[in-house]
Amino acid sequence: MLKKVLIANRGEIAIRVARACREMGIASVAVYSTADRNALHVRAADEAHEIGPPEPRSSYLDGAKLVSVAKKTGADAVHPGYGFLSENAAFAKEVEEAGLTWIGPPSGAIAKLGNKLEARKTAKALGIPTIPGSDGPVEGDSVRAAARAAGFPVMLKAASGGGGKGIRTVRDEADLVRELERARGEAQSSFGSSAVFVEKSIFPARHIEVQVLADSRGNVVHLGERECSLQRRHQKIVEESPSPVVTPEVRARLGECAVRLAKHAGYRSAGTVEFLVDAELRFFLLEMNTRLQVELSVKQEDVHARGAAIELRVTAEDPFQGFAPSAGTVRGLQLPGGAFTRVDTALEAGAEVSLFYDPLLAKLIVWAETRERAIDRLARAAAEFQVGGVRTTLPLVAHLARDPDFRAAKFHTTWLDGFVARAAAEAPGGLETAALAAALAAHADSKRGSAPASAPAAGSSWAHTWRPR
C-alpha cells in the first residue's frame, strides 16, 4: 500500500489526484512553479514544494528535480497526471530506477507506444490499419520522397508528444521544406526531439478515440469510443460518447484493434488509442496516449454503454478572435450544477490565468439519456458557467447547440474553423469580428507555430505548453 504520492503536475488533474489520495488515506505532495505559488492545487495537497520559475522546462518538465523532491519528502510513488511528463518513457524509467512506484504504464510500454513511429510499426506488425506515410523520421531529400509516395496533401507530424504541436499540413511540394523546418522547430521546442514523419492527409475525416483499461495480469478491456472531431489547431474542444456516426460493427472492430495493440505491448493502466476515420468509416491508427494506472475486475462482456456524454474543454481563449489566448485575474466565478453535470477545475475567484501554461481552465461534462438531451443540458450548463476577468470558449456552446449540422453530427476535424467564422458574425463586433475569424481560419496552417500577438515570445510560453488528451 502506498503511503505518500508526489503529484508531478498542476491544475485540475493535480487536485483530482490529491482528493483521491485523501480518500484513500494516502499523503500527497504538490509541486509548483513560482507562477503557481497561490494556485488551488498547492492547497489541495498535504504538503507543497517549489520547483522553479514559470517556464515549464525549468519546473514541471524537469524530471531530475521532481524525483529529487519525491525522495526528499519520503514519497514512495509519483503520479504524473496527464500532459507534461506523463507520457515520457525516460522520466518513467528514472522514477522506476529511483526505487519509486510509477503510477502509470511501464516505461517499456510507453517507449513502444508513446512514440508515434514506434506505435505505427507495432500496429503494422499486428495488421492494424495505419495511414500511408514514412516509416521513420524525414529530413532533406527523404521528405520529398516520402511525400510523393504518400501523395499530396500530406501531414508533417512530430514523432514525440501530442496535443496538436509539431503538425503541419502541406498541400504541394513547393512548401514542403519550409514547413518541415517549422514542424521540426516546434517539435524540438515542445518535446525535446525534432523527429518528424510524413502521413497522407485524409479529408474529410473524424477523430475517434477508444479508451482501454489494462491490469498487471494481462486483462484488457475497452470502454467504447469518443467522438473528438470538433477541434481547433488539431486540439479538441468538444468530445462526446458514443460517436453519433460509428456503427456497432465499426465500434467492435475499433475496440478489438485497440485491445490487441495494448495486449501486444504489455500495456498496464488506462490509455487512449486514437484513430482517424474517413467518410466510408474506414479507420486508421493515429497514436496511443499512455497514462494512469488501474486494476480490473470486469471482463469485456460486462461493459455496457448507456446514454450520451459530452465534454466541453473550457479554455482561456476567445473563439471569435481566432482562439486568441486570454490571460488575467479571475474576477468572479459561478460554476454550473444540476443533474448529471460535472465540472473538473482548479479555478477560483482571484486565480491568475497565465500564458505560461495550457489555457485549459475546466472540463464541463454532462450526461443524458440521448444525444439531443445531452446537447440541451450542455447548453444550459454552459450558460450558467460564468468566469469573469478572462475570455473563454463557453459562449461557443450556444452557437453549437442551435446549429443544425452539429445537431445532425455533420462535422469533421476541420469543420470548426468555418463554423466559428460564421458564429463570429453573431458575436459582439459582428461582421468585423467575422472577417477576422475567417481570415485566421483560412491561414491557420501558415499561422500555426507563431506566438499570438498578446502572448510572450515563442520559446518562452505557448511553445512549451502541455495538452491533455
Q: What is the DSSP letter of 457?
A: P
Backbone angles phi, psi at 270, to 5 degrees: -85, 145
Q: Where are the alpha helices (DSSP H) in 265-395?
A: 371-384
Residue 43 contacts by C-beta under 8 Å, 6 or more apart in sequence? none
DSSP string, 137-188: ---THHHHHHHHHH-SSEEEEESS--TTTTEEEE-SGGGHHHHHHHHHHHHH
Q: What b/e readout covers 218-249, taking b as 16+ CB neighbours within 10 angstroms?
A: ebbbbbbbbbbbbbbbbbbbbbbbbbebbeee
What would the grid cell of residue 3 be? 503511503
Backbone angles phi, psi at 8, to 5 degrees: -90, 60
Spatial CA neighbour of 231 closest among 411, 8, 449, 46: 411
> For residue 206, what is the enclosing H or E element?
strand 205-214
Q: Is 291 a catalytic residue?
A: yes
Active-site residue, from 206, 291, 371, 391: 291
CA angle at residue 65 from 62 to 67, to 5 degrees? 110
Cα gap 20→7, rounded to integer Å: 12
Residues designated catalytic: 291
